[in-house]
Chain A
Amino acid sequence: MPVAAVLEPYVYEGGVHKHGLIIELLEDLGGYLVQSTPAATEINLVMLIPRKDVPLMEELAKNILGKLTRAPLTGTEIAVVSPTLAYHHLPHSACDVAEHLRRDGANTNMLGLARGMGRRVALSQDYERKLINEHDIAVYSFGNFSDCIMNKKPKLFSGVDVPIVATGGPDLSTDDVEGADVYVGGIGRVSHRLRNEGEIDSLDVLNKTVGEVVDKLREEISRDPLAVLPARVMKEIKEQVPEINDVLTPAPITLQLDGMRVKLPFDQFHEKLEQLDLDEDVSLSDVANIMPSKMKDYILIKIRRRSETGFTI
């Protein structure tokens, strides 16, 4: 059964006061807490809630004066790729794009290419392509000129196997941008924060478009389901590998549609993860590939499909 059919992604925004009740209820209902981000007296909880129990959670959130909103991009890790990390692209618009995607629950990584600028001279490196391919989706943030976007920049897509969403200023059709799965216009190079009405609308369109790509990926996964839900593996890691609680990054375990990134050193912890008990006589290495990530010395887990393992748990 597909992930989306059983568990619904939601984000809770509210005060720190009594937010423990939300977590308790979530555990009782059999849902999963994906990420918890406290900020002074406020807290954001990204969760997967069993669909039939969503009204219960909504009621509790209302009682403690919090807000529960659907976050369709929960459980995805998205690479926001900009041609470089220079001020031409950052913090606007690439960071604005990443921030808007995070509002819908996605985990984003900003990825500035070393030599992605320009037209003739633009190129990507093997390491960068491998890093992008570790994500669920790559969102490329381009500039204002249709000639560049149509004729020169698509070479940055080569070697990228994950779905590509390209953004840029001009209003082009997806067919004009060779290699991109979707093109979203209205988000080109700017030197100010994207906050005008038209700009926010374009970011909303981007989120919706990325959401559609995620839906397609989830549908594709549902045809040959994963041997185990990534959220469940995450829960087991939190229980069986206590060191993960000492990791200070915002998302120590970053969920992906078909796996996760565990932010622990590979050399020290890969054996522990391989032996992680999921069920009687089933350890994580039976249902997933555990490999070193290209990002720092992290661990990348990709869960195998039922057709490969012959069972689901």
Chain B
Amino acid sequence: MATLEKFVVETTVEEEAPPYRKIVSDIISDLGMAGRIAKIKVAIRPEDSLFQLVAVVRGVLPQVILKDFAEIQKGDHEGEILITISVEKHLPRLLQILWDRYGRDSLEQPDRWTISLFVDNPEEEIGSLENLVVDDPRRTLKSNLADMAIRVAPEGFRVRYHSLNGNNFIFVASEDTMQKEWIDEAHTMLKELKGDDASGSSA
């Protein structure tokens, strides 16, 4: 957890904060998000059934487009498109997208770096394939952040509000009707977290 610039957990009873801090850090580690979050603050008021989490995430990586890591050309056979990849880590996601779009029967994998795709009109398809978005880190980050917040929050708090605005994430949960003050409070918390650099260092 050393990569976090600021990590605060506040509870009504002071002694109850450290165990909750451990839960938050365990879940961040489990989801492999330690490198993605710059600052985080969690506040819990059990007597009000209220859980608030605000976080500032680090700059999000750009989208991964197929032509960035693969060469796409016509194959020797009729209707064949040959995709030769240079970065293997995107392969599972790419295969899933191609399977969904063209069906498993249209694809062959002669080796781990090559995909043969059989379509009716290869010229048109090559154009659309080049700009295919294989991975969108921003979308993944959003779902991971929501997943983290839901896991961290007490189980019964199922009335939830969350927002990801730029690099700022806000999550409020309760078991009672959501109140506007709680969300406003979370926004203030976020402002304080971003503005307070006293204990943080710029990474």
**Interaction A to B:** yes
Given the complex of chains A and B, what is the CA–CA distance between A192 and B26 in angstroms?
A: 7
- A285 part of interface (Cβ distance < 8 Å): no
Q: Which residues of A contact B151 (CB under 8 A)?
A: 87-88, 191
Are B156 and A190 neighbours in the complex by a CB distance under 8 Å?
no
Q: Nearest residue in B to A89 (C-beta to C-beta)? A: B155
Are B175 and A190 neighbours in the complex by a CB distance under 8 Å?
no
Query: Digit string of B154-191 for contact with A (CB within 8 Å is 1, else 0)?
Result: 11111000000000000000011000000000000000
- B64 part of interface (Cβ distance < 8 Å): no
Are B157 and A118 neighbours in the complex by a CB distance under 8 Å?
yes
Q: Which residues of B contact A144 (CB under 8 A)?
A: 16, 19-20, 23
Are B23 and A191 neighbours in the complex by a CB distance under 8 Å?
yes
Query: Digit string of A179-195 for contact with B (CB within 8 Å is 1, else 0)?
Result: 00000000011111000
- A213 part of interface (Cβ distance < 8 Å): no
Stretch at the interface among A125-133, A145-153, A239-247: A145-153
Are B156 and A118 neighbours in the complex by a CB distance under 8 Å?
yes
Interface residues on A, range: 20 to 34
Interface residues on B, range: 20 to 34
Q: Which residues of B contact A122 (CB under 8 A)?
A: 156
- B109 part of interface (Cβ distance < 8 Å): no
Q: Which residues of B contact A189 (CB under 8 A)?
A: 19, 23
- B11 part of interface (Cβ distance < 8 Å): yes
Are A120 and B175 neighbours in the complex by a CB distance under 8 Å?
yes
- A83 part of interface (Cβ distance < 8 Å): yes
Q: Nearest residue in B to A84 (C-beta to C-beta)? A: B155
Are B26 and A146 neighbours in the complex by a CB distance under 8 Å?
no
Q: Which residues of B contact A88 (CB under 8 A)?
A: 151, 154-155
Q: Nearest residue in A to B158 (C-beta to C-beta)? A: A118
Are B156 and A121 neighbours in the complex by a CB distance under 8 Å?
yes
Chain B interfacial positions (CB closer than 8 Å to A): 11-13, 15-16, 19-20, 22-23, 26-27, 30, 44, 46-47, 49, 151, 154-158, 175-176
A/B interface sample: 12 pairs, CB < 8 A: A89-B155, A117-B154, A118-B155, A118-B175, A121-B175, A144-B19, A146-B16, A147-B12, A170-B15, A190-B19, A190-B23, A191-B27
